[in-house]
């Protein structure tokens, strides 16, 4: 069980339906004036990010033990996933077999759909005198442009890329960097959607980027050639190529906060996937998105090094989750005077407890604050919180992060699993969040 938590803070949600037009077709929109960045400043930023990322690479990866392998996450740091056919010059659909390209052609066509993701998070480290000190840590990952709605560009990535991020920015193919927000997360499937305001993207950048074309990962066969693109080591987008080595692989992944998940049905490839590639694209030779790069193997349980074993989440598996997150309302963190609380004391449900006793993964309610928001909604000791306002909850740390986007007085639906005759039954409760300031003044 993890540490107990009492006062929760709040703020984030998402909304907006993707529209069929691509970024290059959206001609009438205002672009925000941005202070130009000189070439020297851009290079200095890139080099600094690379150096910091190298120093804190351990903080941007997560350890994994699965079977006889040691697997690590890669990186740190809305989607109208409609499957599209390639078209010839006359505009008619072309068959996949006729549209295969070289690695160079696939990369060239896909690059406008790829972004770099840079994050800033706070980590606590022990200092020389035995105490602890907080440090800002920069991370790097990758994302794929998968959709657009009336106000936002929507980008798919891994959850572990944005986990714990206090702020994040997205870099496009023309090296333009724009602030972004986490629109939604799916902890159980290691997926997330990041949004960028269209008004923040310069017109020149909009004319160069595009939404990725989505393929059919269910059609993959052993030996199919694939291309992986990602922000390797935080240095910028790089291209590797290889083959599908295996299908339907399962891995056990552990996030930085200690949460463990089982990532199933993965594509295994020998295309080199390195730190920073997380959230990047795995493409077939038609240039279609067939997977989201997730992890690589580093060594076996005996310590022997392992090369050329990487894993990606099949796009057919990710599609429904990404679509749900794309339809959420995008939120921003609330100010301190609006901070909210749920009114519980809770602990993480460890993977061992979940497996041994059949307790659902989430946050178990250790106690309910008398007359608090949770108590008034009917929450009880022993309930396991698994979802808040459509966002999956797997740990106390994540619950606290999610609540930072919700203001006191807001009403949210909370899903709990309640013990019933040896099993668990799902219940949805409408909770009006309380004011954290009121708790502090008690």
Catalytic residues, by residue number, are: 160, 190, 278
Rounded to whole angstroms, the Cα distance separating 385 from 5 reads 13
- DSSP code of 213? P
d(CA 232, CA 332) in angstroms, rounded, equals 29
Could you tell me if 406 and 10 are in contact, meaning their C-beta atoms sit under 8 angstroms apart? yes
**Which residues, in sequence order, are bridge partners of residue 141?**
117
The DSSP-derived string for 371-404 is TSHHHHHT--TT-EEEEETTEE--SHHHHHHHHT
Strand 238-254 vs strand 260-269: parallel, antiparallel, or unpaired? antiparallel
DSSP structure string for 124-162: EEE-TTS-EEEEEEEEEEEEEEEEE-SSEEEEEE-HHHH
Tell me the CB-side half-sphere exposure of residue 437, using CA atoms within 13 A: 8
DSSP string, 69-128: EEEEE---------B---B-TTS-B--GGG----HHHHHHHHGGGEEEEEEEEEEEEE-T
* Whole-number Å distance between alpha carbons of 8 and 358: 27
Residues in the chain: 442
CB atoms within 10 A of CB 417: 22
8 A C-beta contact, residue 175 and residue 202: no
Residue 45, SS3 per DSSP = helix
DSSP string, 317-348: HHHHHHHHHHTSPP--PPPGGGBEE--EEEEE
């Amino acid at each position: 069980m993890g540490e107990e938590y009492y006062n929760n803070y709040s703020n984030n949600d998402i909304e907006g339906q993707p529209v069929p037009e691509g970024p290059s077709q959206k001609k009438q929109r205002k672009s925000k004036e941005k202070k130009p960045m000189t070439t020297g400043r851009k290079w200095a930023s890139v080099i600094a990010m690379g150096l910091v990322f190298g120093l804190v690479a351990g903080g941007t990866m997560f350890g994994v033990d699965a079977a006889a392998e040691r697997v690590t996450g890669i990186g740190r740091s809305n989607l109208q996933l409609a499957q599209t056919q390639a078209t010839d010059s006359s505009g008619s659909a072309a068959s996949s077999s006729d549209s295969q390209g070289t690695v160079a052609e696939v990369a060239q066509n896909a690059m406008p759909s790829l972004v770099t993701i840079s994050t800033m998070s706070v980590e606590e480290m022990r200092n020389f005198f035995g105490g602890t000190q907080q440090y800002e840590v920069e991370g790097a990952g990758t994302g794929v442009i998968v959709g657009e709605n009336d106000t936002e560009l929507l980008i798919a990535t891994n959850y572990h890329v944005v986990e714990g991020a206090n702020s994040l920015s997205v870099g496009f193919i023309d090296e333009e960097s724009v602030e972004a927000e986490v629109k939604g997360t799916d902890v159980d499937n290691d997926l997330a959607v990041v949004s960028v305001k269209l008004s923040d993207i310069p017109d020149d950048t909009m004319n160069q980027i595009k939404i990725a074309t989505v393929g059919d990962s269910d059609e993959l066969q052993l030996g199919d050639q694939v291309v992986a693109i990602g922000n390797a080591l935080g240095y910028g987008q790089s291209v590797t190529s290889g083959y599908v080595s295996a299908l339907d692989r399962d891995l056990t992944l552990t996030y930085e906060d200690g949460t463990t998940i089982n990532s199933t049905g993965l594509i295994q490839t020998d295309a080199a996937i390195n730190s920073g590639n997380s959230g990047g694209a795995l493409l077939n030779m038609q240039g279609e998105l067939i997977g989201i790069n997730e992890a690589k193997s580093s060594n076996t349980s005996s310590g022997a090094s392992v090369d050329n074993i990487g894993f990606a989440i099949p796009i057919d598996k990710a599609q429904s989750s990404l679509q749900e997150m794309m339809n959420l309302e995008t939120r921003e963190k609330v100010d301190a005077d609006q901070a909210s609380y749920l009114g519980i004391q809770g602990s993480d449900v460890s993977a061992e407890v979940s497996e041994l006793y059949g307790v659902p993964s989430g946050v178990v309610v250790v106690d309910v604050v008398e007359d608090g928001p949770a108590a008034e909604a009917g929450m009880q000791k022993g309930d396991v919180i698994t979802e808040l306002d459509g966002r999956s909850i797997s740990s106390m740390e994540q619950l606290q992060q999610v609540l930072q986007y919700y203001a006191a007085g807001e009403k949210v639906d909370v899903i709990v699993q309640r013990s019933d005759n040896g099993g668990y039954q799902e219940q949805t409760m409408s909770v009006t969040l309380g004011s954290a300031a009121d708790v502090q003044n008690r």
